[in-house]
Structure 1
Amino acid sequence: MKVAVIDIGTNTFNLLIAHKPNRRLIPLAIHKEFVFLGKGGINNNTIQDDAILRGLQTIKKFKKIADDLGTTKIIAIATSAVRNAKNGNDFARKVKSLTGIDVKIINGNQEAEYIYNGAREATNLGDNPVLIMDVGGGSTEFIICDRYQVYWKKSIEVGAARLFEQFHKSDPILQQEIENIEAHLEKKLNQVIEKALDFEVETLIGSSGAFTSIAKMITHNLNEPEKLKNSTEYEFDLVEFENIRENIVHLNLEERVKIPGLIKERAPMIIVGTVLVKFILEKLNIQQFKLARYALKEGVASEFLNCITH
């Protein structure tokens, strides 16, 4: 049985078509569109009319792809931008009217649970507590877990699009703007830091586009981009991460667009993303830093296919 999952994110819409023979999730097709649903309205809790239009067109396109591939079930999941928007339910109704697809608007806890399920399909989480971090556009999910269970999870509205619109006003970013982001994170993430220290977390596992972008920049820098091909995980070198971060923080957008391994749509928000990641690495004195290439959409697909086969 094939399932299609549409992940309606704040910046990107993702389509995954997958099946699960032999208890292992196998992606059959993956499509990504940069819709920027939160653009211009995310910090006012609205979805702008032009963003709604882009979103509807993308979901219509994804439905055709899923139908053409003979998918049995289409599941659409909406996260931070839609759940916080005053007109989020209106957007979901428009999707239903245009495509017949019911959009499930999930809360932050459900989002974190799906991300855990996805990351667990991509990498061995091990026997000791680790911190999974998923940097979205609207929110960032933090999950303290091991391969058996989740100990603590929290979704916090410090996604890349929110930080970008609120703080990244200059290009290149000013040191004062970086310090303003860090001061904001001190307030917003104190509970995450506290809990992670309580669990003596030493490993950070990043899932989602921001971490994949960082991995692609590093592997291009090291002339080993093939390391990410056909792999669901990657181990970061902490020194290489710091080198990349230092190299890009002073670049303007025009220069960032030319960075090998970084797709142009990620270039505007990559700086705030690296500020957020560096904040967590330093606060927790992280010793091991890994990428899990599966996240929410894989977690949704895995859970659905498990229910069907059991």
Structure 2
Amino acid sequence: MRVERNQSDQALKADEIKPEKRIEKDWLPSPPFSRRYAAIDLGTNNCRLLIAVPQKDGFRVVDAFSRIVRLGEGVSQTGMLSDAAMDRTIEALTICREKIESRRVTAIRCIATQACRGAGNGGAFLERIKKETNLDFELITTEQEAALAVRGCMDLTDPKADAALVFDIGGGSTEISWVVKKSGDDITNAVFKLEAWTSIPIGVVTASERFGGAHLTREEYENTVDTIALEVTRFTGADHLKPLFESGRGHLLGTSGTVTSLAGVHLGLKKYIRKEVDGIWLASERALSISEKLRAMGFDARQKEPCIGPERADLVVPGCAILEGILKAWPASRIRVADRGLREGILAELIASDRHRKRRRRRSRGRSADDQARGNQPAKE
């Protein structure tokens, strides 16, 4: 079932997103006694942890962990999480828990997405995680997932653009969001609004299982592209923004392993380096040419690509087909690459919530002090 929302949804319409200061790339020890925040994103393919400390205009990462666990492997065919996949995930989450304890994290949010949403035993598995690791996971909706992904990478939107299409190619689904500039003309004051979003129930794992991943022929690849393009074009809630993209005033912003892998290959990196990839611009034509190169080179050759490796060799081509399907439905000349997303969005919300509570407490104490001062004044005659 395809889930859709558009600008009439109040939860998303109310969001105004102002770019924050770029996250510092160097992971350093956090100051003593500072608040520490952790975010865990448990997806269909990956388990990811990020730990950070707040700074004036954002936050600084102090630790991170990522492992491909393929939790959703086979779910599209059986409807259930397999024992092997759940065991792999528990092992990864145990490492996350150890890092959280060693960093003395003071606030945490753990989210689970499509694999647990779609599996018949997804809820039971989250209960098992709680019992074995003491990590309490929240099963978020596709709406929440899209909003968090947008918040996590919004500071990479070109402030000179009028709109952007933000896509997050996950393991089990792909979230697509459209943002438009509300005000401002440069990086210091540009404000963007989340205008519309949709979710399609196809990600790199489900596409690989449905269409084939390791050995896609050109015909199979093109059929996959057409299927994705059709899914994207069925959503009409953002059609009023198409003139902005047709006139070159809109661009794509991708947050996923697919787009970061393409960027790594484009740069010719001997090993994946986040700070080299995060934030670069990739011409759409270049992305498509690399996609075809990866498809044509075959599974064995893809395994030897430093920014792909054995764990992504069967998933990167379905991911490329999803990207090409998006571009076919929403043509744009350039793509901004984001090695950030859900986890960064979670951290931003945790920190903002904390700051809001602190402001409320200060205002409350100020009112109490004023009331007390007025109560101690002598009565007027």
Instruction: Confirm or deny a common fold (TM above 0.5).
Output: yes
Deviation sequence 1:211-264 (CA, Å, 0-9, x none): 11111111117x9987x5266411002332232122111222111101242233
Q: Distance in 2 between matches of 1:182 and 1:243?
A: 14
Tell me if the contact between 1:131 and 1:204 (Cα under 8 Å) persists in the aligned partners: yes
More off after superposition, 281-290 vs 62-71 = 281-290
Deviates more, 1:104-113 or 1:125-134: 125-134
CA contact (8 A) 2:264 2:277 kept: no
Residue 90 of structure 2 is aligned to residue 76 of structure 1:
no
Report what 1:198 is aligned to.
240
Compared CA separation, residues 284 and 124, structure 1 to 2 (3 A)? closer
Look up the equivalent residue of 1:175 and give its one-letter code.
R
Deviation at 1:129, TM superposition (A): 1.8
SS in 1 for 2:175: strand
Q: Distance in 2 between matches of 1:163 and 1:290?
A: 23
Q: Is the partner of 1:26 in helix, strand or coil?
A: strand
- Hey, what's the Cα distance between the residues in 1 that align with 2:199 and 2:339? 19
Name the residue aligned to 1:17.
Answer: 51
Name stretches of at least 5 consecutive residues in structure 1 with no aligned partner: none
Is residue 2:340 matched to residue 1:294?
A: yes
Separation of aligned partners in 1, 2:277 and 2:317: 25
In the alignment, residue 78 of structure 1 is paired with which amino acid?
A
1:56 equivalent in structure 2: 90
Larger Cα-atom Rg: 2
Question: What letter corresponds to residue 244 of structure 1 in structure 2?
Answer: I
Q: In the TM superposition, what are the counterparts of 1:48-197 in structure 2 within 5 Å?
A: 48-124=82-158, 128-146=162-180, 147-168=191-212, 171-192=214-235, 194-197=236-239
Q: How many residues align?
A: 306
TM-score by length of 1: 0.92
1:207 is matched with 255
Structure 1 residues 50 and 260 mapped into 2: Cα distance closer, same or farther (>3 Å)?
closer
Overall identity of the aligned pairs, in %: 26
Distance 2:145 2:291 in 1: 28
User: What is the letter of the counterpart of residue 179 of structure 1?
Assistant: E
Query: How many Å separate the matches in 2 of 1:37 and 1:205?
Result: 26
Amino acid at match of 2:199: S
Matching residue of 1:250:
296
Q: Residues 179-235 of structure 1, C-alpha deviation per residue, up to 9 Å, x if partnerless?
A: 33134224422234x4444202331100122111111111117x9987x52664110
Task: Find the aligned partners of 1:208 and 1:286 in 2 and give their Cα distance.
Answer: 18
Consecutive unaligned residues of structure 2, counting only runs of 5 or more, are 1-34, 181-190, 357-381
SS in 2 for 1:148: strand
User: Comparing 53-62 with 108-117, which one deviates more in the overlay?
Assistant: 53-62
- 1:125 offset after TM fit, Å? 5.4
TM superposition shift of 1:4: 1.0
Separation in structure 2 between the aligned mates of residue 262 and residue 77 of structure 1, nearest angstrom: 26
Q: Is the 8 A contact 1:114 1:299 kept in 2?
A: yes
Retained in 1: the 8 A contact 2:170–2:204?
yes
TM-superposition CA deviations, 1:133-181 (whole Å, max 9, x none): 0000001000001342100012211111110000116x43122322331
1:265 partner letter: E
